[in-house]
Amino acid sequence: MNKLSYLFFSGMLLLCACKKEPKEEALPSLEGTYESTPTILAINPIVMYTVNGAINNQTVIEKFMRRNSVTPNPLLFSISNITDPNGVLYTLTISPDNKATIVSKHSFIINTTNYAIISRSSEVIHLLAIDSAAARRYDITSRCAMLNESIPAVRTPERCQPVAPGSFCKFRATTLISIVNGQLLAPQLGYYVKLQQSPNTYCSLGSGGLWNKFNSSIVNQLISGDTLLVQERAFAFRKK
């Protein structure tokens, strides 16, 4: 290697050695105490899914809901912003040690749940309850139950006793908090499922007020005769 080539090669090595990795942008601090607002925001419209894909035509959706007695059910869906029909007020406290507490108040009933913040991005905070709770678990092998469990984007970890359906499961509740332009929002996932009417595969169920987001990949599991209604709403927190 001649002297000129050697100097060029040595210079390139020095440049590479001095090049610094780009720093990740620091996330703003969210520590503090927040109170929920009483309004559920209809931030997204109701969407119907079938084996043929998404249907956004609200007239078609409303006809389906009337035929299946889904409306009026503000716990699941709303065309516009509404006052929370449950009348529950929430206090969210975020601590500097990656912990959070949610206190719910309804009339004279107060419930407190402590969470660990297991992940956070610029768009969402993922909370997992520190203490386990127990609930009776029924048949999870039916297609209805499996679809129902797959609709939320983040599933609750649980541990079932290996006995017959109807046994108790221990689970740690999972909760998502959305961040939009610095504003904390509690996502309110509402959905209704109606499966094809054939032996052992028919079910009709609904769920609302889940602090979770929609798992859009579930649409790939629908078959002819299935109908899924989904609406993602939210209520806002304001800092005290």
Say if 23 falls within a structural domain: no
CB 50 within 8 A of CB 229: no
Total domain count for the chain? 1
Q: Is residue 184 part of a domain?
A: yes
| Distance from C-alpha of 237 to C-alpha of 156, rounded to nearest angstrom | 23
Asked whether residue 138 is domain-assigned, the answer is yes
Q: Is 42 helix (H, G, I), strand (E, B) or coil?
A: coil
Span 196-210, pLDDT tens digits: 765 555 567 778 888
Cβ burial of 211 (10 Å; 0-12, 13-18, 19+) is buried
Per-residue pLDDT, averaged over 127-149, amounts to: 76
Please check whether residue 1 lies inside any domain of the structure: no
Mean pLDDT of the chain: 83
Residue-range definition of the domain harbouring residue 57: 30-239
The band of 7, judged by pLDDT with boundaries at 50, 70 and 90, is: very low
Determine, yes or no, domain membership for 193.
Answer: yes
Global pTM value: 0.81
Give the tokens for residue 38.
């009483």
Residue 213 and residue 50 in contact, taking contact as beta carbons nearer than 8 Å: no
Kindly indicate the confidence band of residue 13, based on its pLDDT and cuts at 50, 70 and 90: very low
pLDDT digits (tens, 9 = 90+) for 158-194: 666 545 555 677 778 899 999 999 899 999 999 998 8
**Joined tokens for residue 187:** 């996502």
Contact present, 100 and 120 (Cβ < 8 Å): no
Whether residue 233 has pLDDT greater than 80: yes
The tens digit of pLDDT for each residue in 59-90 reads 999 999 888 878 667 888 999 999 988 889 99
In a domain, 10, yes or no: no
Kindly state whether residue 4 falls inside one of the protein's structural domains: no
Q: Is residue 44 part of a domain?
A: yes
- Name the band, by pLDDT with cuts 50, 70 and 90, for residue 138: low
